[in-house]
Amino acid sequence: MHNKFFELTSVGFIAGLLLIGCQNPKANRPDTVKINNTEIKPDSQAAHTSFSDDWRNFKTEAEKKIENNKKKIAAFKGNMKKTGTAMKAKYNNEITNLEETNRQMKKTLENYKNGGKNVWADFKTGFNNAMNKLGNSIDSLFTEQS
């Protein structure tokens, strides 16, 4: 039951990210904004630089988490080699699902395109939530085995 829920949640999250990424946020925004009779373009250099810095920091941290997840899964698989066949059968499917979810998270991160401030905020929140769920699932797998 728990495994099906995890699979459905993972598929739903990835589908949501893909839908968010396919939207055209510029269609709903004005090209310029006037404040005190001064035109300001939303995609100004300062905003772009801020986003670039934020994106680089976010991507670096996310890649570290993904790599850490990969190491935890590898360690768990190493521990599984020392256990009996019954344990291997019990956790083999869960390990495969966690590895696939981790790969999907990496692919989602690599495929992200800048879609504006709101899309970025949604992506960042959703991605962080999914990473936390994945990390918790990996950690709970370790505690189950102990």
Band (89; pLDDT cuts 50, 70, 90): confident
Tell me if 68 sits within 8 A of 138, measured CB to CB: no
Number of domains in the chain: 1
- Rounded to the nearest 10°, the torsion over CA 138, 141, 143, 146 is -130
> What residues make up the domain containing 72?
2-145
- Measured in degrees and rounded to the nearest 5, phi and psi for residue 109 equal -65, -45
> Full-prediction pTM beyond 0.75?
no
Mean pLDDT for the stretch of residues 88-93: 80
Query: Residue 29: which pLDDT band, with cuts at 50, 70 and 90?
Result: very low
